[in-house]
Structure 1
Amino acid sequence: MKARYGEFLIRNWEQGDRTAAAAVISYVLSEYGLGWEPNGADRDVLQVEECYLATGGEFWVIEHQSQVIGTGAYYPVHRGEKAVEIRKMYILPSARGLGLGKYLLQQLETAIAARGFQQIWIETASVLVEAVKLYESKGYEPATGVETTRCDRVYVKFLQQPKT
């Protein structure tokens, strides 16, 4: 993955991004009063190779002036048919309100559809008001079955399959 959005570069995660990506996620979580859980919900950020790359998922970082300012990722899950979960969509406050989150979500959905997945699941917390608004505006439907302790909402979106 390599895409530009204005001055921002979205690219595949590299080993050297581990600390910066974790710092972005930890910062945004703390901004909303949520805890960083390196041994729980955030273990995947510290083990990207195992949790994303080895399972058929992807983990991306967003750079601005060579600094990591955001993340986005997905991996296959056992919910429904041909399903993935979008995870770790976080953007630092300095880069919000520019349409970057919408663009990132669109790029993730495009990559997911291109790989033949049919369902996208997202778990989030009500306090992440901007995220909730974004998902609902992009056709994500409320669902049940939250699996992450700090989350209280789960959404699903069914992708249209190309007609053959």
Structure 2
Amino acid sequence: MKREFKDFIIRSWQPNDRQEAAEIIGSVLAEYNLNWEPAGADRDVLEIEEFYHKSGGEFWVVERGGKLVGTAAYYPVNRGNNAVEIRKMYLLGEVRGKGLGKFLLEELEKTIRKRNFAMIWVETASVLKEAVKLYETSGYEAETGVETLRCDRVYVKYLEPV
């Protein structure tokens, strides 16, 4: 998988991306005073093969000029009907505000829709204001049942069949 947006390349994660992807996520979490949880909520980033590839999900990285600047992922979940959860959508501060987050979300949704999933779940924290705004302006509805300790919001989007 490879997509382009402006001067960014979105591609499938490779094993040699593991450390850099983890550092991006840890850095963004720290920026918002949230904790990196390698044994908890962030274990999936250290074990992408197990959490994403084996479950039928995907983990993408975003590059600009040969440097990773973001991540985005999804995997199937047992929540609702024929559902996936979007996870680990993080962008470094230097690349926010350029439409990249919206593009990434739309590309994730297109991919998920083509795979005939019926619903998308996403959990986030209120302090991640840009993420909250993105989901709320992209047709995601507030729901209940947050499963991740550092998150206090959960959203769902129902997909029309292709």
Whether the TM-score (by the shorter chain) exceeds 0.5 is yes
Task: After TM superposition, give the deviation of residue 136 of structure 1 in Å.
Answer: 0.3
Structure 2: any 5+ residue segments left out of the alignment? none
TM-score of the pair, normalised by structure 2: 0.99
CA distance in 2, matches of 1:3, 1:76: 22
- 1:158 alignment counterpart: 158
- 2:149 alignment counterpart: 149
Q: Give matches, 1:134-145, under 5 Å.
A: 134-145=134-145
Q: Give matches, 1:15-30, under 5 Å.
A: 15-30=15-30
Calculate percent identity across the aligned residue pairs: 61
Task: After TM superposition, give the deviation of residue 112 of structure 1 in Å.
Answer: 0.4
CA distance in 1, matches of 2:18, 2:102: 24
- 2:67 alignment counterpart: 67
TM-score of the pair, normalised by structure 1: 0.98
CA distance in 2, matches of 1:65, 1:16: 17
- 2:81 alignment counterpart: 81
Task: After TM superposition, give the deviation of residue 75 of structure 1 in Å.
Answer: 0.2
- 1:11 alignment counterpart: 11
Question: Residue 55 of structure 1 aligns to a residue in which SS?
Answer: coil
Tell me the number of residue pairs that the alignment of Structure 1 and Structure 2 aligns. Answer: 162
Question: Residue 122 of structure 1 aligns to a residue in which SS?
Answer: strand
Aligned alpha-carbon RMSD (Å): 0.4
Structure 1: any 5+ residue segments left out of the alignment? none
- 1:47 alignment counterpart: 47
Give the 4+ runs in structure 1 shifted more than 3 A: none
Question: Residue 108 of structure 1 aligns to a residue in which SS?
Answer: helix
